Homo-oligomer: A and B are copies of this chain.
Amino acid sequence: MSVASAFDTSLFRPTPQSVPPPNVSYAQKPLHGVPVNYHPLNPFTFILRAALIYPDKLALAHPDIHKPAFYSYSIWAQRIQNLAYALIQAGIRPGDRVAVLTPNSPMIADAHFGILAARAIITPINTRLNPSEVAYILDHSGSKLILVDQECSHLIPNAKVTIVVCHNSGRIGDPYEEFLSAGRIFSAEMGWAGLDVEPNEDTPAVLCYTSGTTGRPKGVLTTLRGSYLAAVANAFEAQITRDSLYLWVLPMFHAAGWTFPWANVFACAAQIIIRQVSYPEIWKHFLASGVTHYCGAPTVQIGIVNDPAACPLPRPISAIIAGSAPTAQVIGQLEQIGIKPVHVYGLTGRSLIPLRKTYGPFTRCYDQPSWTTLPLAERAKLMARQGQSFAIAQNVRVVYPPKHENDQDLVDVPKDGKTVGEIVTRGNIVMKEYFRDAEATRKAFRGGYFHSGDLAVMHPDGVLQILDRSKDIIISGGENASSLAIELELASHPHVLEVSVVARPHPKWGERPMAFVILRHEHIQKWAANHADFEVELKRHARSLLPGFACPEWVQVVDELPKTSTGKILKTDLRKVVAKL
Taking a contact as CB atoms under 8 Å apart, the answer to whether B366 and A36 are in contact is no
Q: Does A37 contact B (CB under 8 A)?
A: yes
- Residues 33-78 (chain A) with a chain B CB within 8 angstroms: 35-39, 41, 48-49, 52-54, 57
Which residues of B lie under 8 Å from residue A450 when comparing CB positions?
36-37
- Residues 409-457 (chain A) with a chain B CB within 8 angstroms: 426-432, 445, 448-450
- Residues 364-395 (chain A) with a chain B CB within 8 angstroms: 366, 368-369, 388-389, 391-392, 394-395
Taking a contact as CB atoms under 8 Å apart, the answer to whether A37 and B242 are in contact is no
A39: which of B4, B54, B394 is its contact (CB, 8 Å)? B394
Which residues of B lie under 8 Å from residue A27 when comparing CB positions?
395, 397
Which residues of B lie under 8 Å from residue A241 when comparing CB positions?
239
Provide the bound-state CA to CA distance between A499 and B427, in Å: 51
Provide the bound-state CA to CA distance between A26 and B396, in Å: 11
Taking a contact as CB atoms under 8 Å apart, the answer to whether A388 and B53 are in contact is yes
Taking a contact as CB atoms under 8 Å apart, the answer to whether B232 and A389 are in contact is no
Taking a contact as CB atoms under 8 Å apart, the answer to whether B2 and A430 are in contact is no
Taking a contact as CB atoms under 8 Å apart, the answer to whether A39 and B427 are in contact is yes
Closest to A392 in B: B232
Taking a contact as CB atoms under 8 Å apart, the answer to whether A432 and B35 are in contact is yes
> How distant is A229 from chain B, measured CB to nearest CB, in Å?
8
Q: Does A96 contact B (CB under 8 A)?
A: no
Which residues of B lie under 8 Å from residue A391 when comparing CB positions?
49, 232, 266
Taking a contact as CB atoms under 8 Å apart, the answer to whether B369 and A52 are in contact is no
Q: Does A7 contact B (CB under 8 A)?
A: no
Taking a contact as CB atoms under 8 Å apart, the answer to whether A428 and B57 are in contact is no
Question: What 0/1 pattern do residues 13 to 29 of A give for CB contact below 8 A with B?
Answer: 00000000000001110
Q: Is the interface of A mostly helix, strand, loop or mixed?
A: loop
Q: Does A462 contact B (CB under 8 A)?
A: yes
Q: Does A354 contact B (CB under 8 A)?
A: no
Which residues of B lie under 8 Å from residue A202 when comparing CB positions?
35, 38
A426: which of B36, B52, B397, B445 is its contact (CB, 8 Å)? B36
> How distant is A39 from chain B, measured CB to nearest CB, in Å?
4
Taking a contact as CB atoms under 8 Å apart, the answer to whether B37 and A389 are in contact is no
Taking a contact as CB atoms under 8 Å apart, the answer to whether A427 and B37 are in contact is yes
Q: Does A235 contact B (CB under 8 A)?
A: yes
Provide the bound-state CA to CA distance between A525 and B235, in Å: 53
Which residues of B lie under 8 Å from residue A394 when comparing CB positions?
39
- Residues 219-241 (chain A) with a chain B CB within 8 angstroms: 223, 226, 232, 235-236, 239, 241
Q: Does A30 contact B (CB under 8 A)?
A: yes
Provide the bound-state CA to CA distance between A48 and B429, in Å: 17
Question: What 0/1 pattern do residues 262 to 288 of A give for CB contact below 8 A with B?
Answer: 000011100000000000000000000
Closest to A372 in B: B2
Taking a contact as CB atoms under 8 Å apart, the answer to whether A54 and B366 are in contact is yes
Taking a contact as CB atoms under 8 Å apart, the answer to whether B4 and A369 are in contact is yes
- Residues 198-235 (chain A) with a chain B CB within 8 angstroms: 202, 223, 226, 232, 235
Between A48, A431, A448, the greatest number of chain B beta carbons within 10 A of the residue's beta carbon is seen for A448
> How distant is A499 from chain B, measured CB to nearest CB, in Å?
31
A36 with B395, Cβ < 8 A, contacts A366-B53, A366-B242 known:
no
Provide the bound-state CA to CA distance between A52 and B232, in Å: 21
Provide the bound-state CA to CA distance between A2 and B369, in Å: 9
Question: What 0/1 pattern do residues 558 to 579 of A give for CB contact below 8 A with B?
Answer: 0000000000000000000000
Taking a contact as CB atoms under 8 Å apart, the answer to whether B428 and A38 are in contact is yes
Taking a contact as CB atoms under 8 Å apart, the answer to whether A36 and B448 are in contact is yes
A239 with B242, Cβ < 8 A, contacts A38-B202, A39-B426, A462-B52 known:
no
Which residues of B lie under 8 Å from residue A236 when comparing CB positions?
232, 235-236, 267
Which residues of B lie under 8 Å from residue A38 when comparing CB positions?
202, 427-428
> How distant is A345 from chain B, measured CB to nearest CB, in Å?
14
> How distant is A56 from chain B, measured CB to nearest CB, in Å?
8
Which residues of B lie under 8 Å from residue A49 when comparing CB positions?
388-389, 391
Taking a contact as CB atoms under 8 Å apart, the answer to whether B37 and A395 are in contact is no
A232: which of B26, B30, B232 is its contact (CB, 8 Å)? B232
Between A37, A232, A429, the greatest number of chain B beta carbons within 10 A of the residue's beta carbon is seen for A37
Provide the bound-state CA to CA distance between A465 and B241, in Å: 24
Which residues of B lie under 8 Å from residue A239 when comparing CB positions?
239, 241
Taking a contact as CB atoms under 8 Å apart, the answer to whether A52 and B388 are in contact is yes
Which residues of B lie under 8 Å from residue A427 when comparing CB positions?
36-39
Closest to A57 in B: B369
Taking a contact as CB atoms under 8 Å apart, the answer to whether B432 and A368 are in contact is no
Across the A-B interface, give the 3 residue pairs with the lowest CB-CB distance, nearest first.
Answer: A39-B427, A37-B430, A36-B445
Known: A28-B395, A37-B223, A52-B462. 16 other contacts (CB 8 A): A4-B369, A26-B395, A30-B448, A35-B432, A37-B427, A37-B430, A38-B428, A39-B394, A48-B395, A49-B389, A49-B391, A52-B388, A53-B366, A57-B369, A236-B267, A266-B391
A residues lining the B interface (CB < 8 Å): 2, 4, 26-28, 30, 32, 35-39, 41, 48-49, 52-54, 57, 202, 223, 226, 232, 235-236, 239, 241-242, 266-268, 366, 368-369, 388-389, 391-392, 394-395, 397, 426-432, 445, 448-450, 462
